[in-house]
Structure 1
Amino acid sequence: MNLKSRFFDLIQEDKGILSYEEILREMLFVIQNFIQSKELTFFNLHDCNKEMYVVASTSEEAEAVEFSPHFNSEEFYEYVLDKSIIRQPIPFSNFEKYDLLLPMRRGNEQLGYIAIKDVSKEIPFSDPILEKIGEECSKFLLKAKGICEVIFEEKRYKQLFRVTEKFHSSMDMDAVLGEIIFTLQEVYPSFTYYLMLSHDNNNHANLPIKDLEYDSENISAMQAYVTGAIQLEDSVQEQKSILYAPLKGKQGVYGVLQVIAPNTRAFPNNEVEFITLLANTAGSALENAQLYQQSRKLIADLQLINETTRRLNSDLRLTETINFMTGQILTSFEAEEVGFVLVSENFEQIKVLKGSTDFFFSKDAEQYLQYIAKKIKNEKDSLFLGDLILENVSSVYRSVMAVPMVQTDVIMGFALVLHRLPYHFSFETFKLMQSLIHHSTLAFSNSMLREELEKMVITDHLTKLHSRNFLNENIHRSMSEDAFGTFILIDIDNFKQINDTYGHQVGDEVLIQVASIIHDNIRDTDIGARWGGEELAIYLPRIPLHVAVTIAERLVAKVNELTAPRITISCGVSYWTKESDDNFTKLFKRADQALYLAKETGKNKVVVQEDEELIS
């Protein structure tokens, strides 16, 4: 009764001892004090491998003892089967130092073995008393185990309730997945866990995630994923049991939770029930989080399309339009390279538009452009390539999205998006890309038509140089904004004789040749124009006189060298500065006088007029 009273004290709630191992250890200390022995150690057999191991002891040294791998557990079990008390000699290693061995039983079921060392000689215990102690210890262990299981079960379901609240308060998939692992590690610290997810969900940091793939090692996992039912896989050889619980929502299965229980032949039934409840709750939370993220993504996509459409309808220049679209795609799709390409009707000519990323103007881009152009020409459809490999290319881009730009059923070009990593772009991204290009193609076409019309207005049809009106407007603007500039007036020598000799068609060809030479020898900021008839003109803003004279002399030499039939030109040059009281009329008059002098004094030369002085 004394011993039973002490046992009862151990399981009072105010003691705070809730785990079976803690109660077992305290029970050993109670018995040790009761019989005044030096050491008590509780041994048991593993369910799976039937190896003997120490569960608890009043000695720290004894808890660290390991049994020999040659220990014959079956012989030991037969030896103690019908015995209530075992005294020395005990014919098994690891028990030689103990005086007594008390088997703990429930019927024929062995619960464990209490080994007692150095029993006090002052208080002799008869066999009936020791048997009674063994019986009371067995009863107490069963009751303590039952109480601990109830407390543990209550704790588990409290955790399930807590985690359910947390699941449904979060719309972050990483947070939901992390909470699944945290809860399981808290409840079953000896188990191992993995989340088996598809390729689209493998970017979660710091979580034990595996790819869910169909192979010989993952048959049970795939069955759980496909059927939505728990799958168990027991391995006697590896001494472990594996549970696959589908993360299931109302609309589908979102992954599989793999739980590995070591040192057991079969997964415990009560654990299966709890893990199933947790997995189902997590599946619903994952579904809600995924639907929430999808809705946010759809809203963001619509905002992107609306913003893009609004900007494209704001009369942007073509280069500004391409720059804007490139920026949008780089940011929204996490792309590395974005290119917009125009093609001729038969795809023989390919032109990369300004505003595309620098890569598309490099030599390495040519093979990509040719490959994609050929595919679009043949298939007449968008391309979505997850793992493209082209030979002999130093810059390797594996993920490719290409969408043709179609206007009135004609492919006018395509948009091309690249990334080095394979399978970087999702299919949803590809569909959004198609929608963006569909909405923007009309804006591209309108920008090109508008700029082409503007170019026709300010461009001479024959020579492709600027018109005289455009030149006049820019000279006026330069004289109000710049500090100085130079004007060159050009006349083709003996042009009437060329027309009379070769015909007007050759005369037109001569004009085109001279215009081409002018275009090749001036900057983009300079203005070449057809002044009228066979007269051409060049205005060089912010170019000093001596540089302009050099340019004019180079033009004279190049025309004489490159034209066929060979012709010559004469040039008159005039110059203005901010300090002088000058205007456009005076500037032109001086250049015209210089040109007249050049033609009167032998032609094929450059003459400069500063103020009223002529310098040849």
Structure 2
Amino acid sequence: MEKKKENHLILYYKSRLLDLMNLEAASSLDDWVAVVADVLSADHIVYYKPDSENTKFYKICSFYNPFRHDVELVVPSGKIKALKTVSQVVTNGKLKKDPYLKQFNIAFFIPEKNMEDGCLLLSIPNELFGELSDEDLQAFVRESRNFLQLKYELSVVEADRKRYIELFQVTGKFHSSMDTDTILAEIIYTLKRLYPVFDYTLMLSDDYHHNLDLPIKSLQYDAVDEMALESYVNGQVHLATVWRTNETMLYAPLRGKQGVYGVLQVITFTNYEFNRSDLEFISLLANTAGSALENAKLYQQSMQSIEELRLINSVSRQLNKSANLKETVDFLMKQISSSFDTQAIGFVMMENGKMDLLEGSSPIFEEKEGARYLEFANRSFAEKKESLFISNLNRRFPGRNYRFSSLMAVPIIQEDDLKGFCLVLHEAPYHFSFDRFKLFQSLIYQSGMALTNSMLRERLEKMVITDHLTQLFAKNYLNSRMETSIGEDEQGTLILLDIDDFKKVNDTYGHQTGDEILIQVAKLIKENIRSTDIGARWGGEEMAIYLPGVPLQTGVQVAKRVLAAVRKNTNPPVTISCGVSYWNKEMNETAESLFNRADAGLYHAKSLGKNQVVISDMEMKSN
């Protein structure tokens, strides 16, 4: 039987489709609809495709005059499905029954792979119905189906090619960078190049200090977004449809070899259906990014560990060199301030159960506000000798109105005894990271022994130069300081004093009371001189005060002030006698000669009736 010739319109249609295929990726469904309109002389055309739930048909492309025709963007699936019969071609009859569809006079149901048939609605000249047989119309459907299927397969191949080129390029960038911001930015930029209409968010499990311009937020473990958490926990890609917002959400975990570092959230409209290639590519990109993030994090951790070791070694070397407590504290203050970005640093050593704030600590700790933190740390360490790491004091203790929210404190422990602690503060909550806290612990543990040793060394040195009973300096130390002053200063005054009738005090009240009188007089001396002056116990009930750089007149005033203080504030009441000597650069003076002249003045004061001040080498007295 002779094969029937194809209709010239169908042949023309096939040739036009072949031309479209030769255009490769440049052609689109709009181009196809334009070809159909041209071949069939259509007045207007609309091509609808169903959504993934088959509840609605969405307009995919069209060809019409908007001033003459109204085209609906969405049509209920029931309206389209009501047209469908055994045949894939529907003409006037059923179309005229619907107010919207009656503007068309023919409909083609074009099957697509793995999808509900798409519906092509047309309005063509009536005379064409005489030219096109049923077989011709079926041929039109068949050729359209073949074209769309081939077009789809080619588009998938082309999309895959582009994706894997992008993946290859972005993988190279991932492996060439150890910067988390660069990696995170490349994830977003790559996706935006391939899927420009989607929205993206990176939900990260770690506290990254990332670029604020990137769509990044922390993965909240108590959040309502259960699908994101599920993807994070089980490491699998998940899809979710939110009908309330008409959105489809894809969640892809950022997986590395050692764990999951976050979740990539992709948001699009519900009428977009993620195909297998989309899912594979996004999942592969997320996994590649997860591995890159893991490598960057491990690299940064290793670099941080190296820096921490350098800091610890540097501190150890310096502490081994320094024997002076103040130098040690000053050095640690500088290191802690630069390494931890603190606003207040306090070093406390414990002495007889009481806190001793070391010189060099931040001034805030000498105020009432700062003392609150020291007392809080001291109470905590008394209960449990464990380091304190508090990110938000005001949240932990509501209503107490702490000025500083972030606190770190590390105890200095020796043989299970609390020897002291170091405390640092910052006003901003969550200012110190846990990694910084661990480094701070290591630093204080390393320097605790040096601090304790420096303090013990200073105490021992002080014991050598200090009289045990009165806590005044010893005679040898006074002599040394006087000799240094005579060599370096312009002038100086020495006051030698003796408690009047001290033997009588011992005989009347006992030696215990005599010791208490010595302690009282020593305390009054320290209260009436400067920190740069030297108060010393010369021997027995004799004491001395050396005033470096002080003229004679001022020295006499100091002696009178001490004499009056002793007379008024001792119990039982006692008096003192004072001899005063003076030197300057014009005098050929030694410490011994200065003492001898003061001693002569003291002897003179005693002989004149006691309880008075006498200037050496001059027979004058002052009461």
C-alpha change, 1:72 and 1:241, in structure 2 (3 Å) is: closer
C-alpha change, 1:216 and 1:606, in structure 2 (3 Å) is: closer
Residue 510 of structure 2 corresponds to residue 503 of structure 1: yes
For 1:78, the equivalent position in structure 2 comes to 82
Contact 1:404 1:414 in 2 (8 A): yes
Q: Which residue among 397, 402, 412 is the counterpart of 1:395?
A: 402
C-alpha change, 1:477 and 1:126, in structure 2 (3 Å) is: farther
For 1:325, the equivalent position in structure 2 comes to 332
- Flag structure 2 segments of 5+ consecutive residues without an equivalent: 1-10
Contact 2:95 2:106 in 1 (8 A): no
- Flag structure 1 segments of 5+ consecutive residues without an equivalent: none
C-alpha change, 1:393 and 1:580, in structure 2 (3 Å) is: farther
C-alpha change, 1:291 and 1:246, in structure 2 (3 Å) is: same
For 1:195, the equivalent position in structure 2 comes to 202
Q: Which residue among 358, 367, 392 is the counterpart of 1:353?
A: 358
C-alpha change, 1:79 and 1:49, in structure 2 (3 Å) is: closer
Contact 2:55 2:76 in 1 (8 A): no
**SS state of the match for residue 364, structure 1?**
helix
Compute the displacement of 1:446 (Å).
1.4
C-alpha change, 1:24 and 1:390, in structure 2 (3 Å) is: closer
- The one-character-per-residue Cα deviations of 1:423-472 (angstroms, maximum 9, x if unpaired) are 54444444433333332222122111211111011111221111222222
For 1:536, the equivalent position in structure 2 comes to 543
Contact 2:89 2:106 in 1 (8 A): no
State the percentage of identical aligned residues: 44
Residue 364 of structure 2 corresponds to residue 369 of structure 1: no
Contact 1:104 1:135 in 2 (8 A): no
2:337 is aligned with what amino acid? L
Q: Which residue among 482, 495, 500 is the counterpart of 1:493?
A: 500
Compute the displacement of 1:564 (Å).
0.9
- The one-character-per-residue Cα deviations of 1:181-200 (angstroms, maximum 9, x if unpaired) are 22222222233323233254
C-alpha change, 1:65 and 1:313, in structure 2 (3 Å) is: farther
For 1:169, the equivalent position in structure 2 comes to 176
Distance 2:70 2:557 in 1: 100
- The one-character-per-residue Cα deviations of 1:190-219 (angstroms, maximum 9, x if unpaired) are 333232332544756433334334447343
Contact 2:89 2:109 in 1 (8 A): no
C-alpha change, 1:508 and 1:215, in structure 2 (3 Å) is: closer
Q: Which residue among 12, 23, 30 is the counterpart of 1:25?
A: 30
For 2:558, the equivalent position in structure 1 comes to 551
Q: Which residue among 205, 221, 232 is the counterpart of 2:239?
A: 232
Following superposition of structure 1 onto structure 2, how do residues 175-574 of structure 1 map, counting pairs within 5 Å?
175-201=182-208, 205-215=212-222, 217-236=224-243, 238-264=245-271, 267-344=274-351, 347=353, 349-388=354-393, 389-390=396-397, 393-574=400-581
- The one-character-per-residue Cα deviations of 1:487-522 (angstroms, maximum 9, x if unpaired) are 322222233332333333322222211110111122
Contact 1:191 1:261 in 2 (8 A): yes
Calculate the TM-score normalised by the size of structure 2. 0.83
**SS state of the match for residue 316, structure 1?**
coil
Contact 2:612 2:621 in 1 (8 A): no
For 2:4, the equivalent position in structure 1 comes to none
Q: Aligned pair count?
A: 602
C-alpha change, 1:584 and 1:65, in structure 2 (3 Å) is: farther
Distance 1:453 1:528 in 2: 19
Following superposition of structure 1 onto structure 2, how do residues 132-147 of structure 1 map, counting pairs within 5 Å?
139-147=146-154
Compute the displacement of 1:572 (Å).
3.1
Distance 2:109 2:83 in 1: 14
- The one-character-per-residue Cα deviations of 1:346-395 (angstroms, maximum 9, x if unpaired) are x4x22222233333322123343333323322333334444443466443
Distance 2:333 2:508 in 1: 54
Distance 2:479 2:210 in 1: 61
Distance 2:272 2:32 in 1: 29
Contact 2:410 2:444 in 1 (8 A): yes
Contact 1:236 1:265 in 2 (8 A): no
Distance 2:163 2:92 in 1: 40
Distance 1:546 1:93 in 2: 119
- The one-character-per-residue Cα deviations of 1:225-272 (angstroms, maximum 9, x if unpaired) are 333333333445544333332222222222222333321486433221
Please provide the CA RMSD for this pair: 3.8
Contact 2:241 2:270 in 1 (8 A): no
Calculate the TM-score normalised by the size of structure 1. 0.84
Contact 1:240 1:261 in 2 (8 A): yes
C-alpha change, 1:278 and 1:391, in structure 2 (3 Å) is: closer
For 1:599, the equivalent position in structure 2 comes to 606
Contact 2:203 2:265 in 1 (8 A): yes
Q: Which moved more, 1:210-219 or 1:158-167?
A: 210-219
Distance 1:323 1:125 in 2: 99
